[in-house]
Structure 1
């Protein structure tokens, strides 16, 4: 039995909390993982996992062994790096990106990264919702907004700029708001969270302070591209990421409103599980995506703190 490989399989199953999900992320048949764990338990003379059709749980011995496996595998990675500092990153790298940022900002340039590291297999998922990085086998995630998961390492990159805007057709029918208070008499495109169903706040920076406002609206979406699409049709006023509507503003398809009281910026961060930063594949991707976003002046500026 390859004990190191067995440890890796065991840790992946625990992280994924599922034999099936672990098999998918490892690219192996589920039966192979089942056989590996049976052989490992027989070798150790103890049960590591309690398995039912609906539940997977560590036994007390399994919990102790898992903690030791994590330490051993981390030490192996550190040792390999110490003796192979020039080794090219290899293996599968899975990254989760916000839908709009991923499609408009990251993927159009990913060919350069793929060419630079030909031994990496790249897998991208697109989600504006919270995901469990360890259970889904995700190495790194880009997120916009305040971070809440303390189990993950968060690396701040900067702040995303937003803009309040509307189509000329809408303004021609309903007039142009001249103040935040005027918005109460207009229609907004409501952007709500797909995870909680709650609408995102409309906020503005007034005299260095963040001020929230309620804007009524009868159209609601949970996707940034859909939000912009509705605004372009003249269905209401919206707040959108400036990088996303830059071209529409330049062509006059959208008009910036209340420029003296812009929306509050939102932090942009990279997230990854504890202990993963030593992996060469993750390190080179973090360096690349940080540089890529630094080239987007409307997406990543120095971190802005708003009281």
Structure 2
């Protein structure tokens, strides 16, 4: 294995905390990865990694060497891009499935045409993702963000609405105001952070109020939540763009439009403790240029 590939392997082992995962990323066997790192340590005459049956973590010397390797690899990638004018390699991102299908994918052919040597791995999820440990380059997330050491680039805000199915409204009535929701139920969307259902939000006289309604159905995914609302299982709040077709066809009906939920921010996050690679840079810049205007159009 050449020296640059060995550096890449070492960085991936530290990021992933796993020889097996790092070897799989590079398409090599675990024994080859182990032998390469052992040879690297012998050449440097220092131990770079603490190994146990469950964990791998860098030594003090390994941590210093790791940051230097990250910088070297990023500089090399920048140099390659400067010479060829192109970015290349595999870029791993994580984004909610519906957002990927409705906003990201339609614009993706043009992005890939600009960067023919770039490959995207799209992970779909709404759970917390440890970017470094899981080998993910960046994530696109909606809603308030917990404090972290991630770099955050704001993409825009999504207009939120409250809606329900015609069958639900025929049974429970059309609500007139947030303080007149007795007898109503909601589809309970369970937060991945708190493991509790989120309350409904309404804007009343310029301030935000929260209303917690009973929920016969609790869900942890946005697609399942929307499907439950279509089946008449409760009121739901979600970005308007999710329900354009449902509202147009009458499958769902917007209610309490004069008391809208607070808009939901959308952002892309990536690790702050690593030098930003050209792959991540061009993708993040493209997201800012592409998704932001789409969100603005959907709000209008």
Which of 240, 253, 256 is 2:254 aligned to? 256
Which consecutive unaligned segments of at least 5 residues does structure 2 have? none
Aligned to 2:288, the other structure's residue is in SS state helix
Which of 209, 215, 218 is 2:216 aligned to? 218
Aligned to 1:212, the other structure's residue is in SS state strand
Checking the alignment, whether the CA contact within 8 Å between 1:162 and 1:262 is kept in structure 2 is: yes
Q: How does 1:86-101 map to 2 (within 5 A)?
A: 87-101=85-99
C-alpha displacement of 1:181 = 1.4
Checking the alignment, whether the CA contact within 8 Å between 1:243 and 1:299 is kept in structure 2 is: no
Checking the alignment, whether the CA contact within 8 Å between 2:67 and 2:274 is kept in structure 1 is: no
Deviation digits for residues 14-45 of structure 1 (CA, Å, limit 9, x no counterpart): 11111112122233322222111011011011
Q: 1:149 to 1:13 in 2, by over 3 A?
A: farther
Q: How many residues align?
A: 300
2:23: which partner in 1?
23
CA distance in 1, matches of 2:169, 2:95: 34
CA distance in 1, matches of 2:275, 2:283: 10
The answer as to 2:226 corresponding to 1:238 is: no
2:57: which partner in 1?
57
Which consecutive unaligned segments of at least 5 residues does structure 1 have? 303-307
- TM-score norm. by structure 2 comes to 0.91
1:205: which partner in 2?
203
Q: How does 1:143-162 map to 2 (within 5 A)?
A: 143-162=141-160
Deviation digits for residues 200-245 of structure 1 (CA, Å, limit 9, x no counterpart): 2211112222111111111111111111111111121111221001
Checking the alignment, whether the CA contact within 8 Å between 2:93 and 2:138 is kept in structure 1 is: yes
CA distance in 2, matches of 1:291, 1:243: 18
Q: 1:299 to 1:282 in 2, by over 3 A?
A: farther
- TM-score norm. by structure 1 comes to 0.89
Q: How does 1:61-100 map to 2 (within 5 A)?
A: 61-80=61-80, 83-84=82-83, 87-100=85-98
C-alpha displacement of 1:289 = 2.4
Checking the alignment, whether the CA contact within 8 Å between 1:154 and 1:269 is kept in structure 2 is: yes
CA distance in 2, matches of 1:149, 1:29: 37
